[in-house]
Amino acid sequence: MTPLIVLEAGACPLPLDNVDTDQLIPARFMKRPRSDGYGQFLLHDLRQDAANPACALDQDRFKGCQILIAGRNFGCGSSREAAVYALADFGFRCVIASSFGDIFASNAVKNGVLPALVSPEQAEVLLAHQGIAQGEPLHVVLPDQQIRFGNHSVDFSIDPVWKTQLLNGWDDIDMTVSYASEIARFNQSDAIARPWAHPSRSAAQ
């Protein structure tokens, strides 16, 4: 995973609440291997409706933007990591929103995408800002948990564990493997504490 420390990039406003992962990538596109690239499917169906704010993704001034700004409950719904693949493959490294679906936020971090949590008021300010709408870049500074633009700055929240993982580009699996002896010890004591916990195969078909 590529570390993320400071991001200076354009930000695309998506003034919508409850953007669920079915919107981020409709289910019918998820049969493909990741190597095909998922970026083209990002917000696919919303972008078919010319009146939908998601069409901003197709505007020239947001070309190459790496930050998405949305309302509350971004990424709610299905656990599909393909929603993050679509964002990442489109080029996004950061989503700013006033709340996130728990599973989405976790998936985002695992793919090096920063879920930056701001207050509902701050989200409205960012969504309504003229400069941002014109394509002015934002500076997202993860060590300081700050979003800077023009003369403004907005603080954001992020789980400290996720922050460390993003800053270092750490991978969970390597870390877990280093605990192999602890896992083995747990298994020994757990077998005594919870003998019923395993599937019983004795009368299984």
Partner 1 sequence: MTERAGSLSSRPKTLIDKIWDAHVIVDREDGQSLLWVDRHLLHEGSFHAFDQLARRQARLHRPDLTFGIADHYVPTRNRDTLAPEIKRMVDQLSDHCASHDVTLFGLDDPRQGIVHVTIPAQGLTLPGNIMVCGDSHTSTHGAFGAYAFGIGASEVAHVMMTQTIWQKRPRAMRVTVEGLLPEGTSAKDIALHLIATIGADGAQGHAIEYAGSTIRALSMEGRMTLCNLSIEAGARLGLIAPDDTTFAFLRGKPFAPKDEAFEAAVRAWRSLRSDDHAGFDREVTIDAGSLAPTLTWGTTPEQALPITATTPDPATILDAARARSISDALDYMGLEPNQRLDSISIDRVFIGSCTNSRIEDLRAAAAILSGQRAKVPGLVSPGSTAVKLQAEAEGLDRIFTGAGLEWVDAGCSMCVGMNGDLVPAGERCASTTNRNFKGRQGPGSRTHLMSPAMVAAAALTGRLTDVRTLARGTRP
Q: What whole-number distance in Å separates Cα of residue 99 and Cα of residue 104?
A: 11
Beta strands 146-149 and 152-155, pairing class: antiparallel
Write out the binding residues for partner 1, residues 16-55 only, by CB under 8 A. Answer: 16-18, 20, 22-23, 26-28, 30-31, 33-34, 45-46
Q: What whole-number distance in Å separates Cα of residue 84 and Cα of residue 51?
A: 24
- Site membership for partner 1, residue 92 (CB under 8 A): no
Write out the binding residues for partner 1, residues 155-184 only, by CB under 8 A. Answer: 159-161, 164, 172-173, 175-177, 179, 182-183
- Site membership for partner 1, residue 80 (CB under 8 A): yes
Q: What whole-number distance in Å separates Cα of residue 48 and Cα of residue 59?
A: 13
Nearest to 45 by CA among 68, 22, 75, 17: 22
Neighbours of 112 (CB within 10 A): 17
From 3-11, 60-68, 69-77, 142-150, span contacting partner 1 (CB under 8 A): 69-77
Q: What is the residue type of 142?
A: L
- Site membership for partner 1, residue 82 (CB under 8 A): yes
CA 167 to chain centre: 15
Closest CB 173 distance from partner 1, rounded Å: 5
Q: What whole-number distance in Å separates Cα of residue 170 and Cα of residue 165?
A: 5
Candidate list 10, 57, 73, 138; residue touching partner 1; CB under 8 A: 73
Closest CB 60 distance from partner 1, rounded Å: 25
Neighbours of 165 (CB within 10 A): 20
Neighbours of 168 (CB within 10 A): 12
- Site membership for partner 1, residue 136 (CB under 8 A): no
Closest CB 61 distance from partner 1, rounded Å: 23
Q: Could you list the residues that contact partner 1 (CB under 8 A)?
A: 15-18, 20, 22-23, 26-28, 30-31, 33-34, 45-46, 71-73, 76-82, 84, 99-103, 106-107, 110-111, 120, 124, 159-161, 164, 172-173, 175-177, 179, 182-183, 186-187, 190, 193-205
